[in-house]
Amino acid sequence: MTVAQNANAWRRDRAFVPFVLPDTIASLPRRPFEFSRAGRDEAAAASLEPGALFRRLLRDQESEASLLVARRVLDAFLPTDGHHEDGPYEEHEDGPYEETEAGTIATHVAEVRAELAGMTGSLSGLEPELRQAVVRQRAPLALLGGCWLDNVSQPATQPSVIVNRLFAHHLTLRGDGNTERGLAHLRRRALENEGVYLPSIAAVDFLDKAQARPLTALHGCFYLALSRLPANFLPEVVGVHYVFHALGTDDLLTGTPSLLSAAELRETLAAYLALAGPDERRRLHTAVRLTLDLEREHVTMLAELASWRAGLTLESKVAEIISRHAPLAGTQHGGVRVGDSLLSDIFRVPGHSQGETAALDLAAFLADLRDSRYLRPSGSADGGCRLTDAMKFGGPMFGIFDEREAATFRAWAASVQSGERPRIEISPDTVGEEQAERWSAAIARSAPADVVVAEAEPRDHRELFHRLVNIENFPNSLPLAAERAERCFKDAEILFVHGGGGRYTDATWFDYSPQALYERAERIYWEKLVEPYQPLQEIPDRDEVLFRQTTYYLTYLIDGAWLHRLAHLGHDERESDGMLFSIYADEMGNGDLRKNHITLTHRVLASAGIELPHIRDEAFMEQDELPDDLYGFAIQQLCMCLFPDRFYNEILGYNLAIEMFGSGEMRLHEIQKLRHHGIDTCYEQAHLTIDNFSAGHAKQAADIIVSHLDAVRRTLGDAAVAAEWRRVWRGYASFAYFLEQPLLEKIAVGAEPGAKSPSPPADSTNDAVAELVI
């Protein structure tokens, strides 16, 4: 079909409700959640042990099973029958309801904060050992704070008024792009000031090192589950976000300042309530009450933990240490006997695992150990015994116990040697167990009514696009997305050989070095994007210009999507992660709705007289304004972004390509054509400036690749860099694969007989693909 024919086809009658800025959604429409049979079965087999559940929700952000587990956790914590008590929140007739309602909530939260302040205040004067136990126990929740905002900004929710307010908060909590100023680092410094040093929250032993009780892990599971499905639980996100930060439990406990002021938290709450209908308000109130209850429950547990530890006898302290280390002892003690049994047999209790002290008779074991030769004076200068001597440098148990634990053993040995023989009564650690069992039981019986088991069979690319935009509701589409993205990356490698003939890109392979990457990028920027520019001597008519623009808008409407799932909690420890987050924040206007690139797109659409439903709506599948020919390119972007861990390298390369393409000849020509016909150029102008190769996104994209590969070299060596680089560069090539359609056609025509010709990208048959601008 010619450009003229396409332009004529573009002018059609439309029958849908257009999307009009500002986007004032308070929640997405309630929809079922579709999972495949395989995803359902994997989730059913998942461990519900609190620690395992916590680690899965934190570390797995790409699978169907993880999303189904998250849905079940949310169902366990939040009522789903639609019935909610009014609680302390009542309607008032004095002034706007949303302001009064926000004030009522704020007053009640302030009352609970005062209550918690009294409780945390009593914990501030504890002796160092008890104080450390308390802040260590709170650490998982302190470090999770704000995780529910990680994915609130996404194609299905942008450019929502409330989402942009929340994203501004998210940016603040992330240190405005500087992780050293972010909440997580401030919390870690506060912990370290208390003498508590913990590994990364994503480390396999984080919960063990934090000595996290099951209740702590389960509270964390709720917040992590919310972070996985924020678009569908937007009212709950707002309620949790307000209460958690307005209460400021961690600020009260450690005496650190809050990054979000009470005023800006309340303003955001009031703004949401102004948008919310009755159902959204009920859901928000439920989340408010739940978060208040959870924080009360956890602070109460901290107080109980301190009280339990303060009342421990010396024998109970020793028993607690042995209980914690026994599961790891294995058969390492060889022929060592205590009483009539080998230590290896004593510690090899079927089903025994950390926290299960009942399986091991600690009182009997301590009685036997107390009377054994291992606690008799060894004659060493410090009055030690065989047990404590073994913990010294050079001893068989050196490094097994930390200094606090070793000191406890020394104190016990000294008491035994002085003749003390108190009745051994072990006080097991059951703090929070009753509440944890209640939450665990709720998760175990959870069966959300909105979960549907179905295989993903989209009828066409429009439906696939709809599913990918609304991926929270269609997790069964994830396997399709992964397979499609991988196939595109593999196919794009043909440009490693032929990419030099590209009009706007050069994906030809080269061996990586930082200098080689910068040289290639600069050459492409100047020789292919900037220097060819000459002002147009003739401007096409308005219909042709508008039709050309419609071939771009589908990708404009998902601007930044390739980055939106990167740098989430537990996946944000590389320097390159923070740099990528900063670019995404720029794309979203850093929380300023007016500067959000999706907002700019809708401004341009409005100026051109084009009305569209939001891409998240089912009506978008029926729209007639945007041609079908370029869905494949947008779909590839949405497919890769759903796998930020699996395709991390490819996304880095794609990011370089798309950011470099923001400047140059095509952008300048579009601005010239739009101005001529009186159409808003704000989107084109924004990218012309922000994507420059001097200090803008294009240069930053190259810097990010260099930073990432340098970290790989320093940790894994040069050989690993080569493998990572190939994947980075095929990410760059995947962008060129859609853009350089004329080149692919030439390659196909010039292929030798019998040689495999490159397959054109799905839905990129229109010749306008050669002028695709991002």
pLDDT in tens, 306-324: 999 999 899 988 988 888 8
Dig out the tokens for 403 from the structure.
């200094």
What confidence category does residue 341 fall into, taking pLDDT thresholds of 50, 70 and 90?
Answer: confident
pLDDT tens digits, 246-260: 999 999 999 888 999
Q: Is the pLDDT of residue 8 over 60?
A: no
Q: What angle do CA 134, 135, 137 make, to 5 degrees?
A: 65
pLDDT digits (tens, 9 = 90+) for 427-453: 888 999 999 999 999 999 999 999 999
Task: Give pLDDT, residue 770.
Answer: 37
Residues in contact with 340: Cβ distance below 8 Å, sequence separation at least 6, in sequence order: none
pLDDT at 90: 42
pLDDT digits (tens, 9 = 90+) for 500-553: 999 999 999 999 999 999 999 999 999 998 888 899 999 999 989 888 888 889
Q: Among 197-211, 277-291, 393-407, which stretch is predicted with the lowest mean pLDDT?
A: 393-407
Domain boundaries, the chain: 3-25+458-771, 96-217+230-311, 314-417
pLDDT band at 350 (very low <50, low <70, confident <90, very high): low
Peptide linkage before 159 cis (omega within 30 of 0): yes
DSSP string for 285-349: HHHHHHHHHHHHHHHHHHHHHHHHHHT--HHHHHHHHHHHHGGGTTTTTTT-EETTEEHHHHH--
Read off the pLDDT of each residue in 99-124 and give the average, rounded to a whole number: 94
Strand partners, 23: 160
CA distance 111 to 247: 9
Cis peptide before 22 (omega within 30 of 0): yes
Q: How far apart are CA 361 and CA 138, in angstroms?
A: 29
Give the pLDDT confidence score for residue 78 in this predicted structure.
Answer: 95
pLDDT (tens digit per residue) in 685-737 = 888 777 677 778 999 999 999 999 999 999 999 999 999 999 999 999 999 99
Tell me the pLDDT tens digit for each residue of 20-45: 788 999 999 999 999 999 999 999 99
**Percentage above 70 pLDDT, the chain:** 90
Amino acid in the structure at residue 602: H
Q: How confident is the model at residue 269 (pLDDT cuts 50, 70, 90)?
A: very high
DSSP of 576-609: HHHHHHHHHHHHTGGG-TTT-HHHHHHHHHHHTT
Question: Which of 148-157, 344-353, 376-385, 482-491 comes out lowest in average pLDDT?
Answer: 344-353
Residues in CB range of 419: below 8 A, 6 or more apart:
none
Task: Identify the band that residue 347 occupies on the pLDDT scale cut at 50, 70 and 90.
Answer: confident
Q: How far apart are CA 384 and CA 390, in angstroms?
A: 10
**Is the pLDDT score of 218 beyond 90?**
yes
CATH of domain 96-217+230-311: 1.20.910.10
Distance (Å, rounded) from C-alpha 247 to C-alpha 55? Answer: 26
Q: Out of 74-83, 86-95, 573-582, 644-653, pick the least confident.
A: 86-95
Cβ contact 256:170 at 8 Å = no
Mean pLDDT of 582-601: 95
d(CA 587, CA 478) in angstroms, rounded, equals: 25
Decide if 730 contacts 650 (C-beta within 8 A): yes
Characterize 295-319 residue by residue with b for buried, 16 or more Cβ atoms within 10 angstroms of its Cβ, and e for exposed: bbebbbbbbebbebbeebebbbbbb
pLDDT of res. 5: 41
Tell me the per-residue pLDDT of 112-170, one tens digit each, with 9 for 90 and over.
999 999 999 999 989 999 999 999 999 999 999 999 999 999 999 999 999 999 999 99
| pLDDT value at residue 89 | 42
Render pLDDT for 538-571 as a digit per residue (tens, 0 to 9). 999 998 988 888 888 999 999 999 999 999 999 9
Average pLDDT over residues 371-377: 92
**Distance from C-alpha of 726 to C-alpha of 728, rounded to nearest angstrom:** 5
Strands (E), 64-113: none
> pLDDT value at position 749?
83
- Residue of higher predicted confidence among 197 and 86: 197
Q: In angstroms, what CA-CA distances link 462 with 294, 624, 634, 731, 763?
A: 42, 11, 11, 24, 11
Separation CA 730–CA 728 (nearest Å): 6
pLDDT at residue 774 above 50? no
